[in-house]
Amino acid sequence: MTKKIVVITGANSGLGLETAKYFISTGNIVVMAVRDVIKGETAKQKLLQLFPKGNMDVLYLDLTKLSSVHAFVGEFKQKYNNLDLLINNAGVMIPPFTKTEDGFELQFGANHLGHFALTGLLLPLLEKSTAPRVVTLSSIAHRNGIINFDNLDGSNGYKAMKFYSQSKLANLLFAKELDDRLKRNNFKTISLAAHPGISSTNLFKLGKEKNPWYIKPLMNLFAQSAEKGALPTIMAATDTKLAGGEYIGPDGKGNRKGNPAIEVPNKNVYQKETMERLWEISEQLTSVRYDFSLNKPLSS
């Protein structure tokens, strides 16, 4: 890939920054979609030190606010006519119980619903490209996830890790359902999912400014670097042998570490009834409706 337009959410740190570094190094235009523009600009300057000719743009995007998602897409459309690659990377992990301004539980709202809306609104621009892709980041935590449709907002009880797992399962189901719908309606865009295994990133601050003293040695024992953790995302985004619908993760024990490879989720993960219900509820909650009927990607 060269001279492609790439949007990466949460591109100012961790996996997003490592992913941005790769696409900048290979001559692409990277739009860093970030919640903190100052941190985004700082990250951009660091990347320009590595790649003086790098082409980067920092745009504000807060996935916890649907108004921000719409505003980001509007700003993007003013600057760009098409989009080659969307990487839904940003995420929050195990925060205290919080609701977004739209009334969503924070993790489900930011990790899933924000990206669901963003993808739908950008899909028309993706279809204008030659070989467009959407890559959505899930997690091995999806294995413990259940979509509890009766308590999506956490009002009937909240456990941080349980809701994180639910949001990451939602990411995986969304990526697969999106690809199924794209294929059924003869879209050029394909959708894939990826996960970093266990990577040492700022997600592991456990909601605090500093980790407890014992976290770092544990991370060194079980985790891989953010640079290595970004490789499944990069493979999902660039490997021309992939047809869409695949899930890419590390190939080591428990898929916690290793080199990127196609991973097959447990056979009970892709439950069509759950996937379709999640899609319908996501459209209702975000008021972003994908319209595939006439190959027009969106009506909202």
Active-site annotation, residues: 164
Neighbours of 82 (CB within 10 A): 14
Q: How far apart are CA 9 and CA 82, in angstroms?
A: 17
Reading the block at residue 272, the tokens are: 């069509």
Which residues are registered as beta bridge partners of 76? Answer: none
Dihedral sign (CA 148, 144, 157, 210): negative
- Integer angstrom CA distances of residue 41 from 11, 17, 35, 143, 282: 11, 12, 11, 36, 32
Please check whether residue 39 is in contact with residue 12, taking contact to mean a CB–CB distance below 8 angstroms: yes
For helices 272-286 and 160-184, the axis angle rounded to 10 degrees is 100
* Closest to 117 (Cα-Cα) out of 274, 272, 300, 241: 300
